[in-house]
Structure 1
């Protein structure tokens, strides 16, 4: 019998972890707060929601948004600089995607949580 605390299996490139134990120190909390600040703007949150469904071009994101293309581009630049979205070129198009699965789940949970608050849908685990 070991006296060591039980730990989650270490993530590897072949098997990344979805949930892993962390101890929230100042740097981690500052980084988490910066992420939440980026989500705290409705247009950015809407763009991130669209990207949670899969990669999209600026044209596709603008079609789904209720703001002009220049506004979409400005928000995408902030999201890219913050490390929340990635880009890749496909011919003349730039394809945007969410950086990782944690962010996909965070966006979806945020929207679903808000839906429960607005509709009165019962809460759940």
Structure 2
């Protein structure tokens, strides 16, 4: 159905991606970056964490190639490296909605969020 077999050579790497996203702050960072690139300070404000904590999470996300950076003078801006992380997080949230609601909101896009 999904076009991949259970013996795919990418399974171990996929598990590492899931492990990297198995943190609420990192999921919040990915969601914040869905709208475009942001600085550490902007991300810290968006996710309600200190810039130091956000920087540590960003370093891990960068090593996993989930986020990329762009430097402008002395400021560093972060962006999603690919849309796949956004899709993984969105799908996980949609799955969570199914766990608590018989009629999840994402099945009714016309309803206000």
Structure 2 length normalisation: TM-score? Answer: 0.79
In the alignment, which residue of structure 1 is the partner of 2:69? 87
Q: What's the Cα RMSD here? A: 2.0
1:35 aligned onto 2:17: yes
1:66 aligned onto 2:25: no
Which one has a bigger Cα radius of gyration? Answer: 1
Structure 2 runs not aligned, ≥5 long: 108-113
SS at match of 1:87: strand
Q: How many residues align?
A: 104
Identify which of 81, 95, 112 aligns with 1:113. 95
Identify which of 29, 41, 48 aligns with 1:47. 29
In the alignment, which residue of structure 2 is the partner of 1:122? 103
Structure 1 runs not aligned, ≥5 long: 1-19
Task: After TM superposition, give the deviation of residue 25 of structure 1 in Å.
Answer: 3.0
For residues 96 and 116 of structure 1, what CA distance do their matches in structure 2 show? Answer: 31
For residues 94 and 112 of structure 1, what CA distance do their matches in structure 2 show? Answer: 31
For residues 4 and 73 of structure 2, what CA distance do their matches in structure 1 show? Answer: 41
1:35-61 Cα distance to aligned partner (Å, 9 max, x none): 000110111111111112221111110
Task: After TM superposition, give the deviation of residue 68 of structure 1 in Å.
Answer: 1.3
